[in-house]
Amino acid sequence: MSSGFEVVLAGIQATIQDLGRVGLAGIGVSSAGALDEFAFHHANRLLGNEYGTNMLEIVFGGVKLKAKGSTSLVLTGAKVDATINNKPIEIWKTYKVNDGDIINLGYATSGARVYLGVKDGFSVEKEYGSCSVSIKEKLGGNPLHVKQFLPFKSVYLHDNRKLPTTYQPNYDKILMLRLVAGYQWDMFEDIQRDKFFSSHYKVTGQNDRMGYRLSGEKITSTSKGIVSEPIAYGSVQIPAHGEPIVLLKERQTIGGYPKIGSVIPVDCFRLAQAKQDSQVQFELISLEDARDISIEFYKFFKEI
């Protein structure tokens, strides 16, 4: 009999994610992939998985699973009250799961996305090079649903591992989004840039895997409309209403709104843990510093 999880409760939105699709943006396919790579890579590291192994990305929690067969399990990212057979478990820590165990996730008290990984990932088919579910594009299957069976290969070896508390992020601080100037930067006058970088913005209810719409100080550009052009990960669009939208991994590949620049990846990862009404601020960073920070992040996870 095959091993895996039987889905008892599917939550609001839970999707399988890996690092997404590369090289297809030119034909309109967005990358998709784990929105918070910090939590994603740590989960794989704790499990001793290969870099980029797929797992569940769960918005706010609310998922209940029944295990068939055994595996190692880890939860990272948003803080949820979780249990295995009604016994509380910690996040950022691995646990042995045995046949018949019930894993139950409450709702997030801090952060927005929980990552649930198992040893060697789930045995799901890749579509266009990735297991990632792209909701808008209907690629990689559908979000989790009740009674679905999520297969994994049974593993009996288990290591107890935990990410030291000092490395665990605090999602309740005001989030500073570091931005590299780019795109239509020159179309924003000094006074508009000052406003942009000195204001506090709030995350609106319009936040999902495509992007986060913010509310706060409105800024304007001198642009009278731009020709539609490719959109990079983290781009900050300023539509006519003047409030910024930070575009994430399921963004459309081409769009026609002016952009002031792009938020660096590590800060996009943090933004993906921000809930409605959380506060964010923007800070300008040089391309050189942005690159150094990004290299440091990926070096840590790619080098064992």
Partner 1 sequence: MRCFSVASVNSVMIYFGSEIGEGVAKEVRQVFYTLKSAKLEHITELVPSYTSIMISYDFMSVSYRQICKEIEDVLDHADEFYNEVSTRLVTIPVYYGLEVGLDLESLAKMKNRTVEEIVALHVNKEYFVYAIGFSPGFPYMGEVNEALATPRLANPRAKVPKGSVGIADKQTAIYPQLSPGGWQILGRTPIEMFDTSYKGFSYLKVGDKVKFQSISKEQFLELGGEL
Residues at the interface with partner 1 (CB under 8 A): 22-29, 128, 136-139, 180-183, 227-235, 252-254, 261-262, 264-265, 287-288, 290-291, 294-295, 298-299
Rounded CA-CA distance 303/282 in Å is 30
Amino acid at 273: Q
Query: In terms of CB distance, is 189 or 289 closer to partner 1?
Result: 289
Query: In terms of CB distance, is 7 or 264 closer to partner 1?
Result: 264
Instruction: Report, in Å, the least distance between residue 60 CB and partner 1.
Output: 24
Instruction: Report, in Å, the least distance between residue 286 CB and partner 1.
Output: 10
DSSP β-ladder status, 4-10 and 93-97: unpaired
Instruction: Report, in Å, the least distance between residue 157 CB and partner 1.
Output: 32
Instruction: Report, in Å, the least distance between residue 259 CB and partner 1.
Output: 8
Instruction: Report, in Å, the least distance between residue 231 CB and partner 1.
Output: 8
From 41, 92, 37, 30, select the one nearest 272 (Cα to Cα).
37
Query: In terms of CB distance, is 72 or 262 closer to partner 1?
Result: 262
Instruction: Report, in Å, the least distance between residue 138 CB and partner 1.
Output: 7
Query: In terms of CB distance, is 137 or 217 closer to partner 1?
Result: 137
Query: In terms of CB distance, is 102 or 124 closer to partner 1?
Result: 124
Instruction: Report, in Å, the least distance between residue 207 CB and partner 1.
Output: 18
Query: In terms of CB distance, is 82 or 272 closer to partner 1?
Result: 272
Query: In terms of CB distance, is 129 or 242 closer to partner 1?
Result: 129
